[in-house]
Chain A
Amino acid sequence: MKRYYVMGLFSNFEEAFSTISEIRQHAIPGVTVDDVTLKSPIEHPEIEEILGDRGSPVPKFSLFGAIFGAIFGFLFLASAQANFLTQPQGGKAIITLPSNIVLSYEMLILFGVLSTVIGFMINARLMTKRHPLYSEKVSLDQVGVMLELDEKNVDSLKELFKKHKVLEIREEVSQ
C-alpha cells in the first residue's frame, strides 16, 4: 500500500500551530497529532502544548552512564591498586579512598557525558539518511509540518494547509 508524505512550509509558528490544532481536532479523519512531525529552525518553547509531551529518555542514559562510570572507575582503580599487593607499600593503604573518590568522580562525569551523547544520537535518530522532503528553508526561517498518511487523505490535508496560508507543499510517495 502506498504511503504519502506531505509537508507544508509555513512562514511562522502561528500558522503551523493552527494547522496542527485542527489536525488534533480530527479535521482529517484517521489522521492524529501523533502522525505530525514539526520541522523548525528553532525549538518553539510551547511545542509540547501543541504536539503533546513526547518525552525523552536521554536523562536515563545520563544516569546509567554516571552510575556505570563511578562503579567502573572505582573498580578499575582498585583492581590496578591491588596489583601493588606484590610491592611494598610502606604501611600505606593499598586501595586509597581519598584519591579513588577524586578519580571515580571524574569517571562518573566522563561516562555520564559519553552515555548522554550516545543516548542523544540514538533517540534523535542522527546519522541516518535525511528525509527526501527535507527543505533547506527549514534551517533558514520557515516552519514545516509533515505528515505520513494514506492517499485518500492527501487532498484534505493540502486543503487544510492552504487554509492556513501555506507557502509551499511538498509530497513524496513511498511503496
Chain B
Amino acid sequence: MQTKDINENIAWAKINEDVLRSMENPRMGYWVALAACVAMIMCAVLAEIYQYQVGMGPSGLNWPHMWDLYIATFVFWIGMSHSGTLLSAILHIIQADWRKPIYRFAEAMTLFSLMTAGLFPIIHLGRVWNMYWVLPYVSDRGIWPNFRSPLVWDAFAITTYMTSSALFLFIGMIPDLAICRDNARGWRQKLYTVLSLGWQGDDRQWRHFRRIYLMMACFLIPLAVSVHSIVSADFAMSIMPGWHVTTFPPYFVAGALYSGCAAIITLFILLRYFFRFDEYMTIPIMEKTCKLTFAIAMVWTYLNLIEFAATWYGHDPVAKELLIQKFIGPHAPFFWTMLFCGSVLPFTLAFEKLRRHMPTMFVVSLFLNLGMWLERWMIVTPTLSFSHQPFAWDIMWPSMVQWAIVFGSFGWFGMLFLIFVKVFPSVSMYEVKEMVFHRRHYHSDELESKFHRRAGDRQSDADPSREGA
C-alpha cells in the first residue's frame, strides 16, 4: 500500500521531463474535450444572443423571481474559486507540503471560476452594455454607485480577489515559467521568456520570492473569507425569509470551500489519469484532500442544521413556512437531493478503501458538486417563491435560456482549464523538487511508518512499542 505522499527518489530532471511532457502534443481526447467545451459555450452564446435581442422575457425572470439560476450559478462559481486559496495559502502557511503537487491547478481553477462567475451578473443585468455602471467612476452628473449596496461590495471584493488570485498564481509560477523558457522552442519560448521576467534562480530572487509568497498568502486568506462573506451579504442584508440569516457568512464560506475541494478531487483524478501524474498526484495526497473535504462537509452540515433549528425555534412564521416548503413543497426533491449529496454522500470519504478507489471518488466528487450547485439554487429560488405576501407566491422553473447559459458556463470553465494545462505547467515543478528534497534529507523512515500506521496494521517485531514502558 502506498503510504508516502511522494517518492523521494524521483530525480529532479524527471520531474521537469514529466511535467513538460504533459504540455506537449495534445492527444485526440484533448481535442474532443476542447470541442465539447466550445460546443457548450456556443449553446450559451446563442441563448445570450436571443436574450439580448428579445429582452429578459425568455429567461423567465420577472417579479417576484428577479433572481434565479444566473445568481445561483454566480454564487456557485464564486464558491468554486475558494479551493485554490485554501490549498495554496492556508496549507502553505501551516507548511503542509502535500499541497505542492496539486496547488497549481487548484489556483488556476480559482482564477477561471472567478472569470466564469464574473459573467453572470453581467448576463443577469440584461442591459449588458451598462455593466460599467457598477464601477466607482466619476460620472459627469456626479452620480456614484450606491456604496451602501452589497452588490457594489461584490464588485469591489470580486475584482480584488480576481486580481490577487491571478497575481498569486502568476508569481508562484515564475520559476516554472523559467524552466519552460529553458526547454521550449518557437512561440512558446517567446511567451515564457516574457512571462518568466528574467528569472535566473539566484539566491536574491529566491529570498524575495519566499517572502512575497508568504505575504500574498497572508493577504489572500482573509480576502477569500471576506469575498464569500460579502457574497452572502447580497442575501443576508435583505429582509427576505431564508436570506436574513446570521449564519450566512460562515455558511457561504464553508459551502465555498466544500465545493472547491470537491472540484479539486475531480480535476485531481482527471489530471492524474490523462497526464499520467501518478507519481505526483499520489493516493496519499488524494486521501488527505478527501479528509479535508469530509471535515468541511461536516462543518457545512452543522451550519445547515443550526440554520434549520434557528428558523424553527425563532418562530418567524414566514421563515418557518419557507423552511416547511423547502422540505415538502415543490422544491423538495431538489432540496432533499442537496442534503443527500452534501451531508450523506461525504461519509464515503470517511472510508479508507473508498478514498483510495479513484473511480468511486470521481463519481462522489461530481455528486458533491451537484449538491453544492443545488444548495445555491435552493438558497435563491424558494425564498422568491414563498416570500412575505402569500398572494405573490409563485413557482417558477428556469427556462431553456437560463439552462443553456448555465450549461455553457461549465464549457467556458472547461475550455479555460484545458488551455491552461497545455500552455502552463499544471504541477509546480520547483515545489515538487523542494518536496522531494525535504523528504530525502529531513525525513526518517521510522517516523514515516509511525505516522502512517493504521489501526489494523501489525507492528514490526524489530520496532516494538515502548508506549507505557
Contact = CB atoms under 8 A, between A and B. Distances in A.
A112 B434 CA distance: 28
Interface residues of B, number: 56
Contacts of A125: 198, 204-205
B216 interface: yes
Given A62-B219, A113-B163, A80 B147 contact: yes
B147 A81 contact: yes
A124 B163 contact: no
A164 B199 CA distance: 27
B171 interface: yes
Contact of B210 (A43, A83, A105, A141): A43
Interface string B155-194: 0110110011001100100110011001100000000000
B434 A124 contact: no
A30 B164 CA distance: 45
Contacts of B223: 106, 109
Interface in A119-173: 119-121, 123-131, 134, 136, 138-141, 146
Interface string A45-74: 101000100101011001000100000000
Contact of B200 (A39, A42, A59, A92): A39
A117 B208 CA distance: 10
Q: Is the interface of A mostly helix, strand, loop or mixed?
A: helix
A125 B13 CA distance: 27
B437 interface: yes
Q: Secondary structure at chain B's binding surface: helix, strand, loop or mixed?
A: helix
A120 B197 CA distance: 12
Contacts of B457: none
B433 A42 contact: yes
Contact of A77 (B147, B174, B230): B147
A140 B12 contact: yes
Given A112-B219, A126-B197, A103 B203 contact: no
Given A112-B219, A117-B167, A131 B208 contact: no
A40 interface: yes
A140 B13 contact: yes
Nearest to A45: B438
A41 B12 contact: yes
Contacts of A37: 202-204
Contacts of B168: 113
Given A42-B433, A80-B147, A120 B208 contact: yes
A47 to B, nearest CB: 6
Contacts of A54: 203-204, 207
Contacts of B11: 141
Contact of A43 (B12, B157, B206, B442): B206
Nearest to B212: A120
A60 to B, nearest CB: 10
A56 B167 contact: no
A138 B201 contact: yes
B136 interface: yes
A127 B197 CA distance: 5
B209 interface: yes
Interface string B430-443: 10011001100010
A106 B226 contact: yes
Interface of B: 11-13, 16, 136, 142, 144, 147-148, 152-153, 156-157, 159-160, 163-164, 167-168, 171, 174-175, 178-179, 182-183, 197-212, 215-216, 219-220, 222-223, 226, 230, 430, 433-434, 437-438, 442
Query: What 9 pairs across the A-B complex have the smallest Cβ distances?
Result: A141-B12, A43-B206, A136-B182, A120-B212, A126-B197, A58-B211, A124-B208, A38-B203, A110-B160
Given A106-B153, A106-B160, A120-B212, 5 more contacts: A43-B210, A56-B210, A59-B211, A117-B167, A140-B16
26 contacts: A37-B202, A39-B200, A39-B202, A43-B209, A47-B207, A58-B212, A77-B136, A84-B144, A92-B148, A99-B147, A103-B152, A106-B157, A106-B160, A109-B160, A109-B164, A112-B219, A113-B164, A113-B167, A117-B216, A119-B212, A123-B204, A124-B204, A124-B208, A125-B205, A134-B200, A140-B179
